[in-house]
Structure 1
Amino acid sequence: MSNSNILVVEDDFAIRNLITTALEMENYKYRIAKSGDQAIIEAATQYPELILLDLGLPDMDGVDVIKKIRSWSTVPIIVISARSDDKDKIDALDAGADDYVTKPFSTAELLARIRGTYRRIMYFQNNLQGGEPIFQNGSLKIDYKMQTVYVKNEEIHVTPIEYKILCLLAKNMGRVLTHINITKEIWGSSFEGDIASLRVHVATVRKKIEKKDPLNKCIQTHIGIGYCMVKQE
Structure 2
Amino acid sequence: MRILLVEDDELLGEGIKTALDREGYQTDWLKSGLQAKQALSTEAFELVILDLGLPDIDGIEILTGVRKSGVDIPILILTARDAVEDKITGLDSGADDYLIKPFELSELKARLRALGRRRHGHVEPVIEHGRITYNPASLEVTLDNKLIDLSRRETTLLVEFLNNPNRVMSKAKLEDVVYGWDIEVESNSIEVHVHHLRKKLYSSIIKTIRGVGYKLESHEK
Q: TM-score, normalised by structure 2?
A: 0.54
2:54 to 57, 60, 82: 57
The code of the aligned residue for 2:54 comes to L
Q: Report the alpha carbon displacement of residue 91 of structure 1 after superposing the two structures with TM.
A: 0.6
- State, as a whole percentage, how many aligned pairs show the same letter: 44
Q: Does 1:37 align with 2:34?
A: yes
What residue in structure 2 maps to residue 13 of structure 1?
10
Q: Which runs of 4+ in 1 moved over 6 A?
A: none
Q: Does 1:66 align with 2:63?
A: yes
The code of the aligned residue for 2:2 comes to N
What residue in structure 2 maps to residue 147 of structure 1?
none
The code of the aligned residue for 2:77 comes to V
* Higher relative contact order, structure no. (Cα contacts within 8 Å, ≥ 6 residues apart): 2
Aligned residue runs from structure 1 range 136-215, under 5 A: none
2:83 to 77, 82, 85: 85
What residue in structure 1 maps to residue 116 of structure 2?
118
Query: Structure 2: how far apart are the matches of 1:32 and 1:20?
Result: 7
With over 3 angstroms needed to count, the CA separation of the structure-2 counterparts of 1:118 and 1:45, relative to structure 1, is same
Q: Report the alpha carbon displacement of residue 8 of structure 1 after superposing the two structures with TM.
A: 0.3
Query: Structure 2: how far apart are the matches of 1:107 and 1:21?
Result: 11
Q: Report the alpha carbon displacement of residue 50 of structure 1 after superposing the two structures with TM.
A: 0.3
What residue in structure 2 maps to residue 94 of structure 1?
92
Q: Report the alpha carbon displacement of residue 124 of structure 1 after superposing the two structures with TM.
A: 7.3
Query: Structure 2: how far apart are the matches of 1:21 and 1:31?
Result: 11
Could you report, residue by residue, the CA deviation over 1:152-192 in whole angstroms, capped at 9, with x for unpaired residues? Answer: xxxxxxxxxxxxxxxxxxxxxxxxxxxxxxxxxxxxxxxxx
Q: Report the alpha carbon displacement of residue 22 of structure 1 after superposing the two structures with TM.
A: 1.2
Query: Structure 2: how far apart are the matches of 1:24 and 1:11?
Result: 18
Query: Structure 2: how far apart are the matches of 1:96 and 1:37?
Result: 19
Q: Secondary structure of the equivalent of 2:121?
A: helix
What residue in structure 1 maps to residue 25 of structure 2?
28
Q: Does 1:47 align with 2:64?
A: no
What residue in structure 2 maps to residue 148 of structure 1?
none
The code of the aligned residue for 2:28 comes to R
The code of the aligned residue for 1:90 comes to I
Q: Secondary structure of the equivalent of 2:8?
A: coil
- Unpaired segments ≥5 residues, structure 1: 126-233
Query: Structure 2: how far apart are the matches of 1:79 and 1:21?
Result: 19
Q: Report the alpha carbon displacement of residue 98 of structure 1 after superposing the two structures with TM.
A: 0.4
What residue in structure 1 maps to residue 193 of structure 2?
none
Q: TM-score, normalised by structure 1?
A: 0.51
Q: Cα RMSD between the aligned structures? A: 1.4
Query: Structure 1: how far apart are the matches of 2:7 and 2:39?
Result: 13
Q: Report the alpha carbon displacement of residue 37 of structure 1 after superposing the two structures with TM.
A: 1.1
Could you report, residue by residue, the CA deviation over 1:180-209 in whole angstroms, capped at 9, with x for unpaired residues? Answer: xxxxxxxxxxxxxxxxxxxxxxxxxxxxxx
